[in-house]
Chains A and B, each alone.
Chain A
Amino acid sequence: AQRVTQPEKLLSVFKGAPVELKCNYSYSGSPELFWYVQYSRQRLQLLLRHISRESIKGFTADLNKGETSFHLKKPFAQEEDSAMYYCALRQERNYGGSQGNLIFGKGTKLSVKP
């Protein structure tokens, strides 16, 4: 079964501390993974995708196929990073000509204290 697990509902850190938001997945093929973020009173939006290997707002995420993980990391958390973070996995394609839908984890609320 294709599944995304975010084990932490809430993660609280102090400003300047490192932060790691955990994401594990279950997928038989070659996974495609994403991190989405929802800031207070803003729309849910894409933060980064593993295939781009990019750093956005200081966040990075590395796909570890051996551990089936895609943890989101930032070396020095800022108060403006406080938000709800969702890890997402692309489902296998089940419709000719279209890409698979996204399966979201349950989300982790990050709170960065001053």
Chain B
Amino acid sequence: NAGVTQTPKFQVLKTGQSMTLQCAQDMNHEYMSWYRQDPGMGLRLIHYSVGAGITDQGEVPNGYNVSRSTTEDFPLRLLSAAPSQTSVYFCASSYRGLYTGELFFGEGSRLTVL
């Protein structure tokens, strides 16, 4: 099993550009989420999903969209990138709706917005 796979690993954008961070998991996990990691801020939840067709906002959702059309995939879309969105983004999934509290993380995607 590959676990949680994120692409791309690195990306540089200009202000105003849009892009999609891809996340896929092969563990048949119901729960998936996106976090951003910033120095001195820790991990903050952007959006999450408890199953296909169900998404909800986390702590810092502004400027991001998500969808969950399949169990495996949970893409994160930046509609109009801003320098404040420069960060490392982590996708994470969990079995049975985060029942155990164990999140399985991807390797991260480092995004720089100029």
Query: For residue B53, which residues in chain A have a CB less than 8 angstroms away from its CB?
Result: none
**Chain B, interface size: which category?**
20 to 34
Interface set, chain A 93-109, CB cutoff 8 A to B = 95, 97-107
Give the residue among B58, B101, B104 with the most A Cβ atoms within 10 A: B101
State the CA gap A101–B57 with chains docked (Å). Answer: 11
* Contact, CB under 8 Å: B42 / A43: no
A109 CB to nearest B CB, Å: 11
CA distance A45 to B105 in the complex (A): 7
Question: How many interface residues does A have (CB within 8 Å)?
Answer: 25
B40 in contact with A9 (CB, 8 Å): yes
Does B26 have its Cβ within 8 Å of any Cβ on chain A? no
Specify which of A88, A100, A104 lies most central, judged by the most chain B CB atoms within 10 Å of its CB: A104
Question: With A86-B43, A106-B42, A107-B42 given, is the CB distance from A101 to B102 under 8 Å?
Answer: no
Q: Mark A47-83, 1 if CB is under 8 A from B, else 0.
A: 0010000000000000000000000000000000000
Q: What 0/1 pattern do residues 60 to 91 of B give for CB contact below 8 A with A?
A: 00000000000000000000000000000010
Alpha-carbon distance between A101 and B98 when the two chains are bound, in angstroms: 7
Q: Tell me the nearest residue of chain B to A43, going by C-beta.
A: B105
Contacts of A22 in B (CB 8 A): none
User: CB-nearest residue of chain A relative to B50?
Assistant: A98
Is there a chain A Cβ closer than 8 Å to B41's Cβ?
A: yes
B25 interfacial by beta-carbon distance below 8 Å: no
- Identify the closest chain B residue to A87 (Cβ): B42
B109 at the interface (CB under 8 A from A): no
A44 interfacial by beta-carbon distance below 8 Å = yes
Bound CA–CA A32/B45 (angstroms): 18
Binding site for A on B (CB under 8 A): 31, 33, 35, 40-45, 48, 50, 56, 58-59, 90, 92, 97-108
A interface residue numbers (CB < 8 A to B): 6, 9, 32, 34, 36, 43-46, 49, 86, 88, 90, 95, 97-107
